[in-house]
């Protein structure tokens, strides 16, 4: 009888642990809210650019457009985390019959998600670094040598991290799946 009770408690515990994955769902909904916030910020920036286009210099226009690209890349990053995270850790998203379903959806495992995330972070960092260099060269901002070195160092750290992640995945045998 003690064995049956232990088996019963084990099944209850395992069921509870398995169902606990749904605690992540509100977090993914929160990230959807983050997309709405990004959309508002994108709209504000776009309206600002449109309103001041005639008075902007070429560098100011480029910097403003880089800000839009930056916001868009962060949005793409959120989409990847929302879709892949939800499908990998909570439940499959049943949109297989939709012609709009992204081709990568349902195919990106945790390893692939990790590489896509670091790739997006490197791209965002590169844009921020480019904006800092443009600001510096145009004289609209004055970064110290130490601040610029930090920006470059952080960007290089992201690049090295991405290369190490890819290398570890290759060693683990995940490299051919992407």
pLDDT 10s digits, 154-173: 999 999 999 998 898 888 88
Helices (H), the chain: 2-19, 25-52, 58-89, 110-138, 145-172
Greater confidence, 44 or 64?
44
pLDDT, one tens digit per residue, over 90-137 is: 988 887 777 877 777 767 777 777 888 888 889 889 988 888 888 777
Q: How far apart are CA 38 and CA 17, in angstroms?
A: 34
- Give the tens place of pLDDT for each residue, 77-88: 899 889 888 888
Burial of 128 (0-12, 13-18, 19+ CB in 10 A): middle
Residue 103 has a CB neighbour count (10 Å cut-off) of 6
Q: Which of 38, 36, 45, 44 is nearest to 65 (CA)?
A: 45
Question: Distance from CA of residue 101 to its chain's centroid?
Answer: 19
DSSP state for residue 54 in the 8-state scheme: T
Distance CA 21, CA 26 (A): 11
Confidence of residue 174 (pLDDT cuts 50, 70, 90): low
């Amino acid at each position: 009888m003690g064995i049956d009770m232990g088996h019963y408690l084990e099944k209850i515990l395992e069921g509870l642990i398995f169902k606990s994955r749904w605690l992540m769902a509100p977090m993914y909904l929160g990230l959807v809210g983050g997309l709405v916030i990004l959309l508002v910020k994108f709209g504000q920036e776009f309206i600002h650019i449109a309103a001041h286009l005639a008075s902007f210099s070429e560098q100011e226009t480029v910097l403003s457009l880089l800000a839009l690209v930056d916001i868009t890349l962060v949005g793409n990053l959120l989409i990847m985390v929302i879709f892949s995270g939800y499908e990998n850790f909570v439940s499959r998203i049943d949109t297989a019959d939709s012609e709009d379903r992204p081709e990568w959806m349902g195919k990106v495992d945790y390893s692939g998600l990790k590489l896509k995330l670091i790739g997006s972070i490197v791209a965002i960092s590169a844009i921020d670094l480019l904006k800092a260099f443009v600001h510096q060269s145009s004289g609209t901002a004055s970064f110290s040598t130490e601040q610029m070195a930090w920006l470059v160092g952080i960007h290089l750290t992201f690049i090295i991290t991405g290369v190490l992640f890819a290398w570890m995945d290759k060693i683990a045998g995940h490299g051919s799946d992407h």
